[in-house]
């Protein structure tokens, strides 16, 4: 079974609202082992909606639509569905009563415009779940429901859509597909190697995975401060079989790329805390009963902010200093000499570690702008009283420079802690 997702709403195209619904729906379909080959966004325009939804009907076994089920003039999803399926809208007395009761329970009178939300394409039916005034709709496209496409229309309000998706749509799709397969993904987070280099490292493995019989696919996703991600996706009969495939492929990838993998996100575990660099470093420090401090010139406090976003960071991160000029940095170090270059980064990391009395420390020196929109800076780590420095070149754009410097110096500390453990 192939499923298509269509998100309706001009606000999605204008960037006023981020379409998180489609990504969440895609995850639920994957967990249920249902293929989803297309996701489309379309504005509240009748002609374009006819084109997009009509195309989805032609090429998919099921179409999941979110949005456009409200009571206002631009909420026309049910009208377009009725037109495309040749099923005229019929007002449901049962839905009218239900919507009126929702208003009366709040001490309000239902506006007459809400009556349109009780309209259902003839031959379709409302979903049982209805947390708001918008009813979800199930509408077969033809006269033979088991042989034709079916449309599931849900409101765009996330919590309302979630309830309908889990209560009606997913179970119904599983029943229609007759499949019990599971699709799951595991994301390996890496840092220290560019996307093209990583592609070359994994070229032979990617070629091996091209065989459909393997059951696993591999893709890259460059995500800035979150690292360069390697997404592994497997499909098998059940959760255990999928886990075996993912475990095997993760081991293969790790054997090829080595210690650049710093964290793993696994959709099967529903982890609430992403394994980003700062979470991994803090967990490692905590397991070794070590504390950390930071001196941030180039990173400008971003490193400290990222660390503090991790729950419980305060028992590991003792403090930080964010000097924004050499005079302030010199006060920390206790010198009048320039803090640029390797010597400056070394002095900063040693000074902050000593001043705050921490077992480890990280530091970023000042960035020096160069040619071609790039800047050079020195980063430093302190472990067991020994400072190590590295020179890096990043885009001069302030935001990207801070992000790349933050994840790079934390990664340097991670690698040193691995050696020390």
| DSSP 8-state code for residue 353 | H
Note whether 231 and 260 are same-domain residues: yes
CATH code, domain carrying 32? 3.40.980.10
Sequence-separated (6 or more) residues with CB below 8 Å from residue 264 = 186, 187, 188, 189, 250, 275
- Confidence at residue 331, expressed as pLDDT on a 0 to 100 scale: 74
What is the total count of domains within the chain? 3
371 close to 351: Cβ distance less than 8 angstroms? no
At residue 337, does pLDDT exceed 80? Answer: no
Q: How many CA atoms lie within 13 A of 375 on its CB side?
A: 22
Q: Which of 146, 177, 208 represents a domain boundary (last residue)?
A: 177
Note whether 297 and 395 are same-domain residues: yes
Number of Cβ within 10 Å of residue 217's Cβ equals 16
Instruction: Tell me the mean pLDDT in the region 242-270.
Output: 87
What is the span of the domain harbouring residue 262?
Answer: 182-269
Q: Which of 151, 177, 203 represents a domain boundary (last residue)?
A: 177
CATH code, domain carrying 248? 3.30.70.2860
Helix or strand run (H / E) with residue 63: strand 62-66
At residue 4, does pLDDT exceed 70? Answer: yes
Note whether 172 and 212 are same-domain residues: no
Strands 261-266 and 228-236 turn out to be: unpaired
Note whether 231 and 373 are same-domain residues: no
- Confidence at residue 1, expressed as pLDDT on a 0 to 100 scale: 85
In the block, tokens 């509240």 appear at 44
Note whether 340 and 225 are same-domain residues: no
Note whether 229 and 171 are same-domain residues: no
Structure tokens at 166: 């889990």
CATH code, domain carrying 296? 3.90.950.20
- Confidence at residue 161, expressed as pLDDT on a 0 to 100 scale: 95
Strands 2-8 and 374-383 turn out to be: unpaired
Note whether 141 and 10 are same-domain residues: yes
- Tens of pLDDT along 291-322? 999 999 999 999 999 999 999 999 999 999 88
Note whether 41 and 148 are same-domain residues: yes
Average pLDDT score, the chain: 90
Note whether 281 and 265 are same-domain residues: no
At residue 89, does pLDDT exceed 90? Answer: yes
At 264 the three-state DSSP class reads: strand
pTM reported for the whole predicted model: 0.70
pLDDT band per the 50, 70, 90 thresholds, residue 270: very low
At residue 327, does pLDDT exceed 50? Answer: yes
Note whether 39 and 146 are same-domain residues: yes
Note whether 261 and 304 are same-domain residues: no
Q: Which of 269, 287, 322 represents a domain boundary (last residue)?
A: 269
In the block, tokens 């475990």 appear at 247
DSSP state string for 194-243: -HHHHHHHTHHHHHHHTSGGG-EEEEEEE-GGG-EEEEEEEEESSHHHHH
Note whether 260 and 291 are same-domain residues: no
């Amino acid at each position: 079974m192939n499923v298509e997702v269509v998100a309706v709403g001009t606000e999605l195209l204008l960037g006023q609202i981020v379409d998180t619904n489609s990504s969440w729906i895609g995850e639920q379909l994957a967990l249920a082992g249902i293929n989803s080959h297309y996701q489309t966004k379309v504005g509240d325009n009748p002609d374009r909606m006819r084109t997009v939804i009509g195309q989805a009907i032609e090429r998919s076994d099921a179409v999941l639509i979110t949005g456009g089920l409200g009571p206002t003039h631009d909420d026309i999803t049910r009208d377009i569905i009725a037109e495309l399926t040749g099923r005229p809208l019929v007002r449901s007395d049962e839905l009218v009563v239900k919507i009126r009761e929702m208003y009366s329970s709040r001490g309000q009178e239902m506006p007459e415009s809400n009556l349109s939300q009780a309209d259902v394409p003839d031959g379709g039916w409302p979903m049982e779940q209805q947390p708001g005034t918008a009813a979800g709709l199930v509408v077969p496209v033809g006269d033979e429901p088991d042989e034709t496409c079916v449309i599931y229309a849900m409101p765009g309000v996330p919590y309302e859509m979630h309830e309908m998706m889990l209560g009606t749509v997913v179970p119904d799709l599983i029943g229609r597909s007759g499949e019990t397969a599971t699709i799951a993904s595991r994301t390996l987070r890496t840092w220290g190697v560019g996307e093209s280099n990583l592609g070359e490292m994994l070229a032979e493995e990617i070629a091996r995975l091209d065989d459909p019989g393997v059951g696993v696919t591999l893709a890259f996703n460059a995500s800035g401060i979150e690292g360069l991600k390697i997404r592994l996706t497997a499909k098998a009969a059940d959760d255990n079989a999928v886990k075996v495939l993912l475990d095997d492929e993760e081991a293969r990838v790790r054997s090829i790329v080595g210690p650049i993998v710093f964290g793993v996100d696994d959709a099967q575990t529903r982890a609430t805390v992403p394994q980003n660099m700062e979470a991994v470093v803090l967990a490692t420090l905590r397991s070794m009963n070590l504390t950390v401090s930071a001196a941030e010139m180039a990173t400008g406090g971003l490193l400290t902010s990222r660390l503090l976003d991790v729950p419980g960071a305060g028992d590991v991160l003792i403090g930080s200093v964010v000097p924004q000029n050499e005079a302030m940095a010199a006060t920390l170090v206790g010198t009048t000499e320039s803090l640029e270059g390797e010597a400056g980064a070394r002095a900063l990391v040693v000074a902050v570690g000593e001043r705050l009395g921490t077992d480890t420390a990280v530091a970023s020196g000042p960035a020096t702008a160069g040619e071609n929109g790039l800047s050079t800076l020195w980063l430093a780590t302190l472990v067991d009283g020994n400072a190590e420095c590295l020179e890096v070149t990043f885009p001069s754009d302030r935001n990207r420079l801070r992000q790349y410097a933050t994840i790079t110096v934390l990664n340097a500390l991670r690698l040193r802690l691995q050696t020390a453990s």
